[in-house]
Structure 1
Amino acid sequence: MRDLSSFTLAGYDKGRGKLVQALWFAVMNLVFTAWWCPPRLRVALLRAFGATVGERVLIRHRVRVLWPWKLTVGDHTWIGEGAWLLNLEPVTLGRHVCVSQEALLCTGSHDHRAADFRYRNAPITVEDGAWIAARATVLAGATVGRHAVVGAGAVLHQDLPELTLHTADGARRPVKEPS
């Protein structure tokens, strides 16, 4: 029987103290997600809070990042409007990656077999040239291979090999490397 009253944060490290967490939430909600915040300022804010962000990265408005200090973004990567990087654990986006509108990358989960519903988190890696399409979801522990595509509305819960398309119906097909 599940006993949620016994849930604790045991084994989970947020990576920064409460003051930095609170400051990030204030900045994220008041400035970072706003439509009027220039993309260059978003990159600067992420870097100021400990993210590793490459050159010529485009981050659109309404993007949410739980913990910037657990985020690495490669050169020439785009993150679309409303994307949510729920990174309780590290999220690594390679070079020339596209994370489209309202995509969710979620490194957090729970052990449904444990009565205390303890965390069962794992990092996410999206390799160079991959595309996470609109409203796609990538779950904890998954690696999206080089030039792979997680199709619109698809849910990915395991590794996706390079040059593979994963569709919303769970089908997988080869894709050609971009020319």
Structure 2
Amino acid sequence: MTAPPAERRLRGFTGAGYDKQRGLLAQAAWFAALNVLFVKWWFPARWRPALLRAFGARVGERVLIRHRVRVHWPWKLTVGDDVWIGEGAWLVNLEPVTIEHDVCVSQEAVLCTGSHLRTSPTFEYDNAPIRLERGSWVAARALVLRGVTVGAGAVVGAGAVAHRDLPPGAVHTAGGSR
């Protein structure tokens, strides 16, 4: 038997437990830099890691970030060496996102650390960090949800949704895991 759906009372939402870790001025400055510079096709790819670092991200060497990539909070982002982040990828990092060395996040992939408690009438946050281990690949239009670790060398295939941890070397496609 299924429990009845929670009666939503969104007016009572408090956002309890979510720490942006920076004040309103830093948030506004990042959103301006993101939308005026970072996402633009004409902003040089080699400058994107430096801009992220200026806002508190830890970014390794030889990192390639294409245009239209969106990063919610750079100060909650750690990127290793030799990482590629494809055009239009979206890092919704309300909580920390760690991308280890030699990882590829392909075009329009989404890493989303945020969610809500479905049983909470006020729909409070249920956020958790994401970790992409060394050599993993999140393919085009794939989605990695909050709290997931993609193991070393594992693949989240194009269009797949990773809602639980993938062990090292696993391949998870839209049709399931192998």
Q: TM-score range by the shorter chain?
A: over 0.9
Of the candidates 45, 53, 63, which is equivalent to residue 59 of structure 2? 53
The unaligned stretches of length 5 or more in structure 2 are: 1-6
Q: Which residue of 2 aligns with 1:110?
A: 116
Of the candidates 141, 146, 149, which is equivalent to residue 140 of structure 1? 146
Q: Which residue of 2 aligns with 1:176?
A: none
Q: Give the secondary structure class of the aligned counterpart of 1:95.
A: coil
Counterparts of 1:71 and 1:43 in 2: how far apart (Å)?
Answer: 11
Give the alignment of 1:29-178 within 5 angstroms.
29-169=35-175, 171-173=176-178
Counterparts of 1:64 and 1:146 in 2: how far apart (Å)?
Answer: 24
Counterparts of 2:111 and 2:166 in 1: how far apart (Å)?
Answer: 14
Q: Give the secondary structure class of the aligned counterpart of 1:85.
A: strand
Q: Calculate the aligned-residue CA RMSD, in Å.
A: 0.5
Counterparts of 2:45 and 2:76 in 1: how far apart (Å)?
Answer: 20
Of the candidates 25, 30, 43, which is equivalent to residue 24 of structure 1? 30
Counterparts of 1:121 and 1:58 in 2: how far apart (Å)?
Answer: 27
Residue-by-residue CA offset, 1:71-122 (whole Å, 9 max, x unaligned): 0000000000000000000000000000000000000000010111000000
Shift of 1:8: 1.2
Shift of 1:10: 1.5
Counterparts of 1:58 and 1:50 in 2: how far apart (Å)?
Answer: 18
Q: Structure 1-normalised TM-score?
A: 0.95
Counterparts of 2:85 and 2:118 in 1: how far apart (Å)?
Answer: 31
Counterparts of 1:56 and 1:163 in 2: how far apart (Å)?
Answer: 24
